[in-house]
Each structure stands twice: as structure tokens, then as C-alpha cells.
Structure 1
Amino acid sequence: MVGIRERKKQRTRRALIQAALRLFDEKGYEETTLAEIAAAADVSTRTFFSYFASKEDVLFFDAAARIETTLALVATRRPDEAPPELLMRIVRAGLAWTVEDQDFRPEDVRLRMRLVMTVPALQARALHLLFDNQLRLTRALREAYPGELGPVEAAAAVGALAGATKLAVVASLNRDGSLEQAAEAALQAAEITVRGLASLGRPAAR
């Protein structure tokens, strides 16, 4: 059970995230200051730094938790679970996280996407996170299937799946789809991709 102190910390963190997103939308990312975010959340700048190291960190607040959760899922690979099945389990868990995340509203997803596409500093951060997380997931996938997946196979699987799902989400949101519709599009893209990865982990025909 979450205690009172932890609930208070969660409320403060959520207030900072929502204040930052609102100000980014109203004023622009570059024009918004840390002090303004803190004031809008009714906390001090010092308190802001107790939760985030920078404005960028507010926008990517869920990045660290997402990759750690994903890596933990890979570590739970069942003995009879083929790589495509594990990858689909990871995709479904990630989509459920997005839809159920109380810190992020549907309109926030579009806002973050727009900011990442238009602010150079955020583009660079997003690409760094994407590349680093894909490398970590590739290593974890190989460790989950020792002797079955080589570095190229694991990298191809992770890259193909990440690219397909992210592009499907962007395409859906650009058509003004709901968060649920974007999740459905990502799931469909993942299923199409995984069908092409069906041979992963199987001995090559001689």
C-alpha cells in the first residue's frame, strides 16, 4: 500500500509534468523556464530539482521506467516462448502502459510528439534515448536466447519492431486518432512485423 508521503510525491511529480506540458504548449519549449514550471506547480525551483534534472527530463519523464520494465519482461522469458511471442508480449505491455498512464493524457502524447519533431534539443535527446534503449533491449534479447539469437538477428528484430510501432503511432495521431486507436495501430504494425520475424530462434534449413 502506498503511504501518504509517497502519494504526496506522486502528486507533486504529476503537477510538475502537467504544468510543464501546459507551459510548453502555451509559451513554447525554449521560452519556458524552470522557475515558471515550478511556480505553476506551486513548488520551489529547489523542489523541481528533487524530481527532474532539466526541462528535457520532464518531457521524457517515463523513459527510464519504460526501458527498465521492458528489460524486466525480457528476463521473464518462458522456456517455450519463441522470440516473436516474447516481443509481442513486450509490445502489448508497453501499449497498456501508455493507455493507462495517469501522468500522460491523450493530448499530451500529441504535444510531446510535436515538440520532439520541432525542437532540435528534444530531437537529439529522443534519438539518443531510442538508440540507447534499442541497444539495451538487443543485448537483453540475446541473453534471453543464448545460442539461438545472434547479434544481427536480435538487432534486426528490435529495430524492425520499434520502427514499425512508432511510425504507426505517429501516423494514427497525425490522422487525429485517439490514444486507443494509436495503440491499435501500433499493435497491428507489431503483428505484421512479427509475422516476418517468425523464423527467429529456429534452426536454419539445410
Structure 2
Amino acid sequence: MTVVPGLRERKKQRTRDALIRVALELFTTQGFERTTVDEIADSVDVSQRTFFRYFATKEDVAFAVQQMVEERFVRALGERPPEEGPFDAMRNAVLSAWDTIGEAIAEVVPVELYLRTFQLIESTPALLAVHLRRSTEMEETIARLIAEREGLDVDEDPRPRIAVAAFSGVMRVTGQLWGRSEDPTLESMRELTGKYLDHLGPALAQRWRA
């Protein structure tokens, strides 16, 4: 029997999602370093070869949901009205992404599992190193998008990279604070993000004292 492409693609997506769910559950319960690719593949009843068909490394599966979140933010930023300034566009994009990301995450893994994974990344040196590298790459992507919005050459005008560096710094701070908070929910993450981004402009003012 011939399988139509739509069914084949859905089956591949289900396998990929299952690998992500199992991997994140194992990472957060027994540790990233102690979990092997074979263990993940066996839990989904697929071969190691199948795992590597979807993910190049164990780190890739650890960041699969985070990558989805980042891609949603980039799309939201690209859709912001051109009359918004760079900081307003980034702020509104990240908050609008958080408004809808819960449903998207839940289609792949339980939101609670994603939140535990976020905390795992911050507390695992190997994953934190990957996270910092990925953050640097994402900053460059966003800086180029901001430069394009503003009609600037990102390699000639330093402002897009400076603006994105400031924005990303706030996002790192809020992520760390949220990871240590007693309310690890998407709602609290969104609220904390909005609160800190609202202070970005005043924090960059030349003088803080009246």
C-alpha cells in the first residue's frame, strides 16, 4: 500500500516529538550527562540511526523546544509594524510570542516538562555552554533583522548589535531569575520579562539620580 506524503510526514513528526518528550524526561530526571542516545532511542522503540536522522547530537534534542520558541519570536519580530522602534518591536514580539507559545509547546511536550528543561539548561555546564553559543548566534540573526527593518547596514552601523545585546542581556537576567523563582510558569515568565524590558530604556539613561 502506498503511503501518501501527508501521512508519512505526520508519522515522522510523531516520532520526532516522541524522541523530544522522552529525552527531556530522561534529562530532567536522571541528568543530561547520564542519559545516552541509545537509552532515548530504546524508550521510543527506534534505532540509534533513526535518532540521528532527526537530531545530530544529544544537545540538539535538548534544545529542540527552545529552538521552536526562538523561531516563533523571530517570526513575530519580522511581523511587527515598521513604525515601531527597535526596542518596542523586540519587546512586543517577545511578549506576543509568550502569549501563544504555551499551546505550541504543549503540542510537543507538557509545558511543565519544558519549564523543567529550561532550569536544567541553566544548571548543567555542558548545556549552558551550548546555550551561550546559540544565544550569540541568535543575537546576530536578530541584529540583522533589526538592521533590515531600519534600513541600516549592520556591519557599518553598530546600533542594531548594541540594541540586541542590551535586549538579550535583559532576557538572560529574566530567565535566570525565573529559573530560581517559586512560580515557574509561563505566565510568571511573561510578567517578569515585561517588567524588566520596561526598565530597559530608563536603565540606559545617562543619569539615574534625579
Q: TM-score, normalised by structure 2?
A: 0.79
| Corresponding residue of 1:85 | 88
Check conservation: 1:77, 1:144, Cα contact below 8 A: no
Determine the C-alpha separation between the residues in 2 that align with 1:161 and 1:26. Answer: 32
Q: Which residue in the other structure is 2:112 paired with?
A: 107
Alpha-carbon distance in structure 2 between the residues aligned to 1:64 and 1:114: 16
Amino acid at match of 1:185: L
- What are structure 2's unaligned runs of at least 5 residues? 206-210
Q: What's 2:208 paired with?
A: none
Separation in structure 2 between the aligned mates of residue 106 and residue 132 of structure 1, nearest angstrom: 25
Q: Which residue of 2 aligns with 1:42?
A: 45
The 5 A counterparts of 1:1-206 are: 3-100=6-103, 101-102=105-106, 103-147=108-152, 151-177=157-183, 178-193=185-200
On the 8 A contact 2:171/2:193 being kept in 1, the answer is yes
Distance in structure 2 (CA, Å) of the matches to 1:108 and 1:143: 36
| Distance in 2 (alpha carbons) for counterparts of 1:195 and 1:104 | 38
Instruction: Return the alpha-carbon distance in structure 1 between the equivalents of residues 48 and 188 of structure 2.
Output: 38
Once the two structures are TM-superposed, the CA of residue 171 in structure 1 deviates from its matched residue by 1.6
1:204 paired residue number: none
List per-residue Cα deviations over 1:113-142 (Å, max 9, x = no partner): 333233322121111000111012112211
Gaps of 5+ in 1: 199-206
How much does 1:148 deviate?
9.9
**How far does the alpha carbon of each residue in 1:42-64 deviate from its partner, in whole angstroms, 9 at most, with x for none?**
22212111211111000111355
Q: Which amino acid aligns with 2:116?
A: L
Contact 1:92 1:187 in 2 (8 A): yes
What is the DSSP-based 3-state SS (H/G/I as helix, E as strand, rest coil) of the residue aligned with 2:64?
A: coil
2:16–2:54: 8 Å Cα contact kept in structure 1?
yes
CA RMSD of aligned residues (A): 2.8
Counterparts of 2:68 and 2:96, CA distance in 1: 13
> How many matched pairs?
197
Is the 8 Å Cα contact of residues 34 and 45 (structure 1) preserved in structure 2?
Answer: yes
Letter in 2 for 1:48: F
Q: Is the contact made by 1:21 and 1:108 (CA closer than 8 Å) also made in structure 2? A: yes
In structure 1, what residue type is equivalent to 2:129? A
Letter paired with 1:171: L
Q: 1:105 to 1:156 in 2, by over 3 A?
A: farther
User: How far apart are residue 39 of structure 1 and its match?
Assistant: 0.9
Distance 1:182 1:80, change over 3 A: closer
